[in-house]
Structure 1
Amino acid sequence: MCRLLGRAGLAALLAGGSLGLVATADFANPAQARAATKPPVQQAQPNVVVILVDDLGWPDVSSYGRSDVPTPNIDRIAKSGVAFSSGYVAASVCAVSRAGLLTGRMPASFGFTYNINDEGNEGAGLPLAEKTLAERLKPLGYRSAAIGKWHQGSARQFYPTNRGFDEFFGFLAGETVYVDPATPGIVTTPTKADANKPPFTQRRGNGVIVEGPDARSVANFDKYLTTEITDRAVDFIDRSAGKPFFAYVAYNAPHWPLQVPQAYYDRFAHIKDPVRRTYVAMIAAMDDGVGKILDTLERKGVRDDTIIVFLSDNGCPEQFGFCNPDHPWSWGKFTYLEGGIRVPFLFSWPRRLKPGGIVDTPVSSMDIVPTVLKAAQPKAPLPKGLDGQDLLASAQHPPRTPRMLIWGQEPVFAVRQGPLKLWRSQDWNQTHLYDLDNDPAERTDLSGTQAEARERLERVMEDWRAKLPKPLWPLHTTRKVVVDGRETEWVY
């Protein structure tokens, strides 16, 4: 059973102690993996690789210690940098979270409040007035590629190559089929929620794989999409090394539907539940892809000068039945419990950051944009309006004043400062206050005993809420759900 560990225990685990950290030869000895690579040549501007995965729960990597999911290649990123144990995303649902990462701004502050349907809410997409990281890096000489899941609007004006990226390969919707289930050697596992989903027999609408500025269709339904995303990322790095580049590698794994090559499924015969087993096998396939990306950076001699960030877009969705049942942060997508917004979050930049193990300082996906811009142009002021902070500083120096983090999709909001977290439902007219240090599962409401802290965080939340613009498209639905024994509100 997974359990929460203190800071010392987490640090010991990442260092490879006896509490169960999974390791491979590459993870244990990164220098050995570089033995036959080109010698590194220092660049004036770092390369950037952001690896964003989909619906991956906090405990479903081995970077934080004891886990039934071995991720030796993801762990290589942690081993060469830091693993943020309090890494958050901007929202608990895919499209909204991605808007925060790509812009460095809180999505609700520019009306990107709710998720985008797979066939597209009419006119929904990342507003053109909001610059993506690719758009900001282009005038600095960077070449950029978006590879994998987009989910920032399907209309032409929102297409990746019209948002600063030089290349795109992937799909525009929030989900798609990985491979034709009739392909030999593929395991397709139904879940308890599949009755409400379309069949696996084809890719539809915005789930079709496209590439290039003209969005031409790619005939690859017989190839496993996770492998295809990896291969495209490797090809882009191979072609781009030598000049600064930005690779936004957005795997849709391990998002539904559950499909994986038999060879990965066979690795996990000890997992008796076929749904959980397939999910874990999908993570293993994605982890191997991360390894190939790291190997390519090392082979090209650019690993030391490459910023790598690995994170999930939100937590694991409870409704499919594949989340880890033994950890309070293992599920919660669509909610503002910790399991919805606290995600695996790893950061590495060998040229500038020494390995630091587990870092508890809270960070946000919105920190990626200011981190990269400061690294690419150290003497230039950051653009106005960014909501993030420098990940490098967070990894090296704990802040003197606890950071204030805020989230909100009307009618549900949350605020965290230090160990205290306030959760608020406007339509339920309920407010809960939690101490995450002593109550990481968010089971004990302290509102009645810490009224001053509750009122202070409520004022922060209400002041922020009052400044928000009207959402650009409507809320889909809310729902009362029970997550790990806790009643909460689900926003979609």
Structure 2
Amino acid sequence: MNHIALSKAVDPTTGMRRRDVLLSTCSLVAAGIVATTVLTVASPVPAQGSTPPNILYIVADDLGWKDVGFHGSDIKTPNLDKLADTGVKFDQFYVQPMCTPTRAAFLTGRYPMRYGLQTAVIPSGGLYGIPTDEWLLPQALKEAGYKTALIGKWHLGHGKPEYWPPQRGFDYFYGALVGEIDHFEHEAHGVVDWYRGNEQVKEPGYDTTLFGNDAVRLINEQDPQTPLFLYLAFTAPHTPFQAPQEYLDRNAHIADESRRAYAAMISAMDDQIGRVLDALEKRNMRENTLVIFHSDNGGTRSAKFAGESEVKGELPPNNGPYRDGKGMLYEGGTRAVGLANWPGRVQPGVVDGMVHVVDMYPSLAGVAGAKLGKNKELDGLDVWAAISEGKPSPRDEVVYNVEPFRGAVRKGDWKLVWAALLPPKVELFDLSKDVSEATNLAEANPEKVKELQARIEDLAREAVPPLFIADVMRMATSTAPSTPEFYFINPD
């Protein structure tokens, strides 16, 4: 068993190392951001057929773009490869640069800057969450007759019960509330973070396997006449790099210890995805199930964004040709591996246009026949025709993120990354010729820089202040109880 202990240098009041809070904030300030917005509300377009499709939405945690078989990795992912080969691969699937913002963008269809989740992730001691006045995708699908379930990682608010999944549209929840847990002990800072519904539970086992077991059980018990929305949010391959021995042995060809454990986590996740697909087949549900898979951000290339666990040596994720990784606004942090698969409805191929995770809200709502209207104004576009019919993506702009200290936006092939604090840094790239973002064209194209900076400034005026910054200030002066357990209260 490859077991890396959680750091003990934790402030008991905040549940987070104060040094890491400051480092994370400084790292984000020093980095750079990209932003773009599209404000449209799509009308629902019911799917063809007698019943709405089941939706299996799978999210990996900190998976490198190149760390799947169908992108040429030495890590074998046969189940994901089969989904990719028989479905569509996303060539330009964009997410936010970190976990909490991406998950929020998916479930709201709106850029996180609109409700304060644009900066960093919700730390262990954080008391905030995705605002309760946001109408989430599971709420819309539930109204359309779906059974809604989240199995896996939440990370959208754990300090107050009103932020928890059962209160946010999920009929069923099994998994972890915070962002990083020990994969065998299911603990963060010595506190058990493992829930079924609103109840804390203590169960032995490797979390990836337990998620697969529970997803299979849920499918086996599902009434086939009721459509299912299953959000399967793995904690793999997020730090700490841990996996059962059988998966370490399977990846014995990888010499580096950290990368072997990281690869083993991916192997375990791929196996569980295969089990879930098999369960759908056995229930005769697979033909009417849309599967979406992507990572929540690029693979981690800097220890500043590796979480609260200790890491040794070079970080193992591989983002292929893309610059940098998690936490950064470059392509390596924001262009994620992704695919869609639905037998008979999605033909094999590639969606080569821009798609953003916010587009999943209106696209899935349309396929499901769910009504929009209770949601706030969406940034997402309905890209279902691009996925199912090979039509061009309607998106010509991507907002990578907008924060008080940085911003980044793409318009067509031009991308601007702007670190706004002193000393400021402006970088302009032509992604049609330079996906690695190696050549800064800002000095040679002052008008394009001016245009994209104006776009970022407009977006910044629409944004609300980051909740992370306010909460860091609260934690820095907190007199809360001396145990992080304070933040895992039972609503009953």
Q: Do they fold alike, i.e. is TM over 0.5?
A: yes
Q: 1:54 aligns with which of 61, 65, 72?
A: 61
Q: 2:142 aligns with which of 123, 132, 138?
A: 138
Cα 1:401/1:216, change in 2 over 3 Å = closer
Q: Does residue 332 of structure 1 match 2:321?
A: no
Aligned-residue offset at 1:148? 0.9
Equivalence for 2:408: 414
Match of 2:292, SS? strand
In 1: Cα distance, 2:163 partner to 2:115 partner:
15
In 1: Cα distance, 2:383 partner to 2:70 partner:
18
**For each residue in 1:116-137, what CA deviation from the matched residue of structure 2 results, as whole angstroms up to 9, or x when unmatched?**
4442323x10100011111111
Equivalence for 2:80: 74
Contact 2:323 2:436 in 1 (8 A): no
Cα 1:326/1:367, change in 2 over 3 Å = closer
Aligned-residue offset at 1:331? 4.5
Aligned-residue offset at 1:349? 2.3
Aligned-residue offset at 1:147? 0.8
Equivalence for 2:341: 348
In 1: Cα distance, 2:154 partner to 2:79 partner:
24
Equivalence for 2:236: 253
In 2: Cα distance, 1:343 partner to 1:326 partner:
9
Aligned-residue offset at 1:249? 0.5
Equivalence for 2:446: 451
Q: Percent identity?
A: 37
- Report 1:9-158 matches (<5 A): 43-64=50-71, 66-89=72-95, 91-122=96-127, 124-154=128-158, 155-158=160-163
Cα 1:209/1:128, change in 2 over 3 Å = same
Aligned-residue offset at 1:253? 0.3
Match of 2:447, SS? helix
Cα 1:144/1:378, change in 2 over 3 Å = closer
Contact 2:87 2:339 in 1 (8 A): yes
Q: Does residue 216 of structure 1 match 2:210?
A: no
- Report 1:166-245 matches (<5 A): 166-180=171-185, 203-204=188-189, 208-212=193-197, 214-220=198-204, 223-242=205-224, 243-245=226-228
Amino acid at match of 2:200: R
Cα 1:315/1:379, change in 2 over 3 Å = closer
Please say which of residues 384-393 and 154-163 is displaced more in the overlay.
384-393
- Report 1:332-481 matches (<5 A): 332-356=325-349, 358-377=350-369, 383=375, 385-395=377-387, 396-399=390-393, 402-427=396-421, 428-474=423-469
In 2: Cα distance, 1:463 partner to 1:406 partner:
14
Contact 2:104 2:156 in 1 (8 A): yes
Cα 1:225/1:158, change in 2 over 3 Å = same
**Matched pairs, number:** 410
In 1: Cα distance, 2:73 partner to 2:222 partner:
36
Amino acid at match of 2:464: P
**For each residue in 1:354-411, what CA deviation from the matched residue of structure 2 results, as whole angstroms up to 9, or x when unmatched?**
222x322111111111111101117877955111122322222114773444422331
Please say which of residues 394-403 and 249-258 is displaced more in the overlay.
394-403
**For each residue in 1:391-432, what CA deviation from the matched residue of structure 2 results, as whole angstroms up to 9, or x when unmatched?**
322222114773444422331211112222110011132110
Please say which of residues 74-83 and 150-159 is displaced more in the overlay.
74-83
Q: Which has the higher contact order (CA 8 A, sep 6+)?
A: 2
Contact 2:114 2:464 in 1 (8 A): yes
* Unaligned residue ranges in structure 1 (runs of 5+): 1-40, 181-199, 478-492
Match of 2:242, SS? strand
Please say which of residues 109-118 and 380-389 is displaced more in the overlay.
380-389
Amino acid at match of 1:423: V
In 1: Cα distance, 2:277 partner to 2:191 partner:
30
Aligned-residue offset at 1:294? 1.2
Match of 2:353, SS? coil
Contact 1:374 1:382 in 2 (8 A): no
Cα 1:287/1:127, change in 2 over 3 Å = same
In 2: Cα distance, 1:161 partner to 1:407 partner:
28
Cα 1:283/1:297, change in 2 over 3 Å = same
Cα 1:379/1:248, change in 2 over 3 Å = closer
Cα 1:81/1:206, change in 2 over 3 Å = farther
Cα 1:301/1:389, change in 2 over 3 Å = same
In 2: Cα distance, 1:315 partner to 1:476 partner:
25
Please say which of residues 399-408 and 456-465 is displaced more in the overlay.
399-408
TM-score by length of 1: 0.78
Match of 2:336, SS? coil
Match of 2:408, SS? strand
Over the aligned positions, Cα root-mean-square deviation in angstroms equals: 2.3
Contact 1:177 1:203 in 2 (8 A): yes
Match of 2:469, SS? coil
Amino acid at match of 1:454: V
In 2: Cα distance, 1:402 partner to 1:203 partner:
41
Q: Does residue 297 of structure 1 match 2:290?
A: no
In 1: Cα distance, 2:299 partner to 2:346 partner:
30
**For each residue in 1:95-123, what CA deviation from the matched residue of structure 2 results, as whole angstroms up to 9, or x when unmatched?**
1111111111101111222234442323x
Cα 1:271/1:290, change in 2 over 3 Å = same
Aligned-residue offset at 1:324? 4.3
Contact 1:117 1:174 in 2 (8 A): yes
Cα 1:473/1:327, change in 2 over 3 Å = closer
